[in-house]
Amino acid sequence: MKIHNLKILPIHFYQVENGFKKVELRKNDRDYKDGDTLCLEEWCPYTEQYTGKECNVKVTHILQGGNYGLEKDYVAMSIEIIK
């Protein structure tokens, strides 16, 4: 299992942090696996800086691209917050 540090925009960060967003779509350039941890780091595009807020989530399921309209080199990862 790996830990992946990833930028996330404030609107998406809020949705994950508050339990509204349960799926993370990403280009599969890191070989994501079930059980991996995503350390989502809030990134402000206006200041081009990290805000200092982080949210750790566990990948519980991965839908590989090439299926159900998802492009081949992308994944849809089901996530749950690690408390």
The residue extents of the domains of the chain are 3-81
Whether pLDDT at 60 is above 90: yes
Q: In the predicted model, what is the mean pLDDT of residues 68-78? A: 96
pLDDT digits (tens, 9 = 90+) for 14-55: 999 999 999 999 999 999 999 999 999 999 999 999 999 999
Which CATH number does 3-81 carry?
2.30.130.30
Residue type (1 letter), 17 = E
Please give the pLDDT value at position 1.
92
Encoded tokens for 28: 């599969």
pLDDT of 76 strictly over 90: yes
Helix (H) or strand (E) holding 80, with range, is strand 74-81
Q: What pLDDT does 83 receive?
A: 82
pLDDT at 12: 98
Residue 42 three-state SS:
strand
